[in-house]
Amino acid sequence: MNLGRLLGSFMLCRAGRRVPFAAHQVILTAESLSYMPGYGFAVAATSLVGQNLGARKPKRAYQHGMIAARLALMVMGVIALVFLVFPSVIIRIFTSDPQVVGLGALCLRIAAIEQPAIALEMVLAGALRGAGDTRTPAMITTLCTWLLRIPLMYLSIYVFHWGLTAIWIITVIDWVVRASLVIVRFRRGKWQQIAL
């Protein structure tokens, strides 16, 4: 996740686009606040799933993973609503440049769309790690970063010159794909048989 963000910022910077780069950095800062509850629920899911599997209660481990995911979905859903309704207010906390505020507000609305997917990916990946399935979340992140996000960002910036809104649409696609893959893995339940 962080590598994709870093390379996206690097590509925008190298393209010499001041306003998109500034807006992108402001959005990343604002969005990083939304990650905090996701990380918190992911840590809780990791602990609860691991504890319940250790107690030989796989059904309860599954339930606790889903409860943590639902709670994260609710909290990050509220954050998404704030991003949708008040994007300019949030961007103005960081800058008063009207061009950055305008572009940043549009892209923060796009970033709002990915918040539910981020919540589900973070928490259920944490649940899988708590079950001892550390490879699957790592592989999903690696594959999505190197085969989806970075190539599409490169094409968007250097080949098609689509701009910052395309970067954030690509980010939404990346998170939706990651979340979908993690959900499928979690729901299949094979992680419940991993020897800890």
pLDDT (tens digit, 0 to 9) for every residue of the chain, 196 residues total?
577 777 777 777 776 678 988 999 999 999 999 999 999 999 999 999 999 999 999 999 999 999 999 999 999 999 999 999 999 999 999 999 999 999 999 999 999 999 999 999 999 999 999 999 999 999 999 999 999 999 999 999 999 999 899 999 999 999 999 999 999 999 999 999 876 6
| Beta carbons within 10 angstroms of residue 195's beta carbon | 5
pTM (2 decimals)?
A: 0.92
59-98 pLDDT tens trace: 999 999 999 999 999 999 999 999 999 999 999 999 999 9
> Would you put residue 95 in left (φ > 0), alpha (ψ -120 to 50) or beta?
beta
Domain count, the chain: 1
Are the CB atoms for 172 and 110 separated by under 8 Å?
yes
- Which residue segment(s) compose the domain that 47 sits in? 2-193
Asked if 123 contacts 181 with a C-beta cutoff of 8 angstroms, the reply is: no
